[in-house]
C-alpha cells in the first residue's frame, strides 16, 4: 500500500484495519511503540506515514529530494553552506534518543552556542509558540530543522511525552534498521509505488512524492527496463513487469465493499482520479486545505463518503452514498461496520444511510 498516511494516527490505524484481516484492537499501537515493527516518519510529500521499520529508509531516503529542495532554498537566500551542514549534523547527532521540539532546539543551541527564541506557528494553521535556533540573521524553527534533516538522515517519531511529540534517529530507535544509499532507495521507492498503484505514469509518481518532474523522470529512466507498458482506456501507463501476469488474471468475482478512513493512500496514488470517481463528486472527497474524506468503496470505485461517532460502547456510522445503494451493497456495508465496531472495541453498532434522491440508479 506504500505506507499509511498518518497525520491522524487513528486514520492510519483504520487504513491498516481495512487491509489486514482480523487485525486486533491495539495491535498498531503495540507494533509502533513496543515492538517497533512499525515506524512513523515524514517521507512522501513530506507527510507523516506509518511504515514497516525495516523498510523505513527506502521511503525516507527515496523521497528526500523534497527536503533537498528546501535546503537549496535556504542556500539561495545566502545562508553559508558550511554553517547549514554543521547545523544539520548537530541536529542529527542530538537525536540519539527521543527529543521534543523544545529539547532538540535547546540541545542544538547548547552544542553550537546559539540563541533560542520562540516563534508563533506550528501545526495546521496553529499559532502555538515554536522553539527556534538563531544562526546569524536566520532562525530555524524546530519543525523546519527536522524537515531539513530529512535530507541528511532518517528520523522517525518517538513516543509522546507529556503530551508532546518526540523525534529520534532511526538507527538509534529501530533494532532492525537498515540504511539505504539514496539512489538505490529512490529506485526501490518507485518499484514500491508501482506495485501498490500501477498502472501509473511519471506524472502520477510526481503527484505521490511531490518531487520535481525532472528528478522523477531520472529515477524512472533508471528502472525503466523492469517496467511493462500497458494501455488504460487507450492511454499508456506502466507496471512492474513481474506483476503483469497477476494484472492480466485480475477479476472482481463478487461485490467488494470497503470503508476507508481520512487520508487513505488508495485515493492519493494518482494525479488523475477519473478511475476512482466522477468529477462531479470530486469536492466531496478532496476537500479544502488538503483534507481527504473517508470514502465508501464499491468494486474499487468511490461510491460515497462516511463518518462515525462513538458514544460509550456504541458506534454509529453515517453513510452518504452518491447514488442509490442496492440491498446487497447495504448488507456488505453493515458487515464492514460490524468489523469496525469490533476493532474499535464497541459492543453495538448502527448504520444509517442518507436520504437519496428519487430516481438515482442503484449501485
pLDDT of residue 325: 87
Furthest C-alpha separation in the chain = 71
CATH of the domain at 205: 1.10.10
In a domain, 360, yes or no: no
Q: What tens-digit pLDDT sequence spans the chain (363 residues)?
A: 999 999 899 999 999 999 998 899 999 999 999 999 999 999 999 899 999 999 999 999 999 998 888 899 999 989 999 999 999 999 999 999 999 999 999 999 999 998 888 876 654 445 677 889 988 888 899 999 999 999 999 999 999 999 899 999 999 999 989 999 999 999 999 999 999 999 999 999 999 999 999 999 999 999 999 999 999 989 999 999 999 999 999 888 888 999 999 999 999 999 999 999 999 999 999 998 889 999 999 999 999 999 999 999 999 999 999 998 899 999 999 999 999 999 999 999 999 998 654 344 445
Q: At residue 274, what are phi and psi to the nearest 5 degrees?
A: -65, -25
The pTM (predicted TM-score) of the whole model is: 0.90
Quick one: 219 and 334 in the same domain?
no
Quick one: 64 and 205 in the same domain?
no
Quick one: 115 and 33 in the same domain?
yes
Quick one: 122 and 204 in the same domain?
no
Query: What does the buried/exposed string (b/e) look like for 144-159 if buried means 16 or more CB atoms within 10 Å of the residue's CB?
Result: bbbbbbbbbbbbbbbe
In a domain, 359, yes or no: no
In a domain, 362, yes or no: no
Quick one: 230 and 312 in the same domain?
no
* End-to-end alpha carbon distance in the chain: 26
The Cα 195–Cα 216 span in angstroms is: 17
Structural domains counted in the chain: 3
Say which residues have a Cβ less than 8 Å from residue 137's Cβ, sequence separation at least 6: none
Say which residues have a Cβ less than 8 Å from residue 34's Cβ, sequence separation at least 6: none
Quick one: 131 and 14 in the same domain?
yes
Domain boundary among 193, 224, 249: 249
Question: What percent of the chain is helix, strand and coil (3-state, nearest 5)?
Answer: 45, 25, 30
Quick one: 243 and 261 in the same domain?
no
Domain boundary among 249, 275, 294: 249
Range of the domain at 219: 182-249
pLDDT of residue 179: 96
Say which residues have a Cβ less than 8 Å from residue 60's Cβ, sequence separation at least 6: 41, 42, 43, 150, 154, 155, 170, 185
In a domain, 361, yes or no: no
Quick one: 126 and 59 in the same domain?
yes
Quick one: 43 and 142 in the same domain?
yes
Quick one: 18 and 160 in the same domain?
yes
Quick one: 91 and 201 in the same domain?
no
pLDDT of residue 362: 47
The beta-strand segments (E) located in the chain are 4-5, 38-42, 48-52, 116-120, 129-135, 138-141, 155-161, 164-169, 227-232, 235-240, 257-260, 295-298, 301-311, 314-321, 348-353
Quick one: 192 and 288 in the same domain?
no
Domain boundary among 173, 202, 237: 173
Q: Which three cell numbers stand for residue 288?
A: 479544502
In a domain, 62, yes or no: yes
What residues form DSSP beta bridges with 318?
307, 352
Amino acid at each position: 500500500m506504500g505506507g499509511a498516511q498518518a497525520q491522524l494516527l487513528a486514520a492510519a490505524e483504520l487504513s491498516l484495519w481495512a487491509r489486514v484481516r482480523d487485525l486486533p484492537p491495539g495491535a498498531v499501537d503495540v507494533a509502533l511503540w513496543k515492538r517497533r515493527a512499525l515506524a512513523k516518519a515524514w517521507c512522501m510529500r513530506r507527510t507523516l506515514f506509518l511504515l514497516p521499520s525495516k523498510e523505513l529508509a527506502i521511503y525516507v531516503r527515496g523521497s528526500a529530494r523534497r527536503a533537498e529542495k528546501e535546503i537549496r532554498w535556504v542556500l539561495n537566500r545566502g545562508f553559508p553552506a558550511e554553517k547549514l551542514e554543521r547545523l544539520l549534523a548537530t541536529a542529527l547527532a542530538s537525536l540519539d534518543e527521543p527529543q521534543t521540539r523544545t529539547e532538540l532546539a535547546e540541545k542544538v543551541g547548547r552544542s553550537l552556542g546559539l540563541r533560542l527564541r520562540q516563534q508563533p506557528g506550528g501545526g495546521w494553521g496553529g499559532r502555538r509558540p515554536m522553539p527556534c535556533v538563531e544562526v546569524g540573521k536566520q532562525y530555524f524553527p524546530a519543525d523546519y530543522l527536522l524537515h531539513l534533516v530529512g535530507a541528511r538522515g532518517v528520523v522517525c517519531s518517538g513516543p509522546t511525552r507529556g503530551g508532546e511529540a518526540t523525534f529520534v534517529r532511526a538507527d538509534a530507535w529501530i533494532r532492525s534498521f537498515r540504511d539505504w544509499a539514496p539512489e538505490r532507495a529512490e529506485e526501490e521507492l518507485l518499484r514500491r509505488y508501482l506495485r501498490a498503484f500501477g498502472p501509473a505514469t511519471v506524472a502520477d509518481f510526481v503527484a505521490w512524492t511531490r518531487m520535481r518532474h525532472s528528478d522523477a523522470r531520472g529515477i524512472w529512466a533508471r528502472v525503466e527496463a523492469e517496467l511493462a507498458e500497458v494501455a488504460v482506456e487507450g492511454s499508456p501507463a506502466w507496471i512492474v513487469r513481474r506483476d503483469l501476469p497477476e494484472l492480466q488474471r485480475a477479476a472482481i468475482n463478487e461485490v467488494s465493499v470497503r470503508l476507508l478512513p481520512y487520508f487513505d493512500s488508495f485515493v492519493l496514488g494518482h494525479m488523475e482520479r477519473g478511475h476512482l470517481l466522477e468529477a462531479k463528486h470530486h469536492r466531496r472527497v478532496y476537500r479544502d486545505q488538503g483534507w481527504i474524506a473517508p470514502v465508501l468503496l464499491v468494486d474499487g470505485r468511490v461510491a460515497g463518503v462516511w463518518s462515525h461517532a462513538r458514544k460509550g460502547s456504541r458506534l454509529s456510522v453515517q453513510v452518504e452514498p452518491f447514488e442509490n445503494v442496492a440491498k446487497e451493497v447495504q448488507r456488505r456495508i453493515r458487515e464492514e461496520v460490524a468489523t469496525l465496531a469490533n476493532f474499535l472495541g464497541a459492543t453495538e453498532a448502527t448504520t444509517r444511510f442518507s436520504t437519496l434522491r428519487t430516481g438515482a440508479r442503484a449501485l
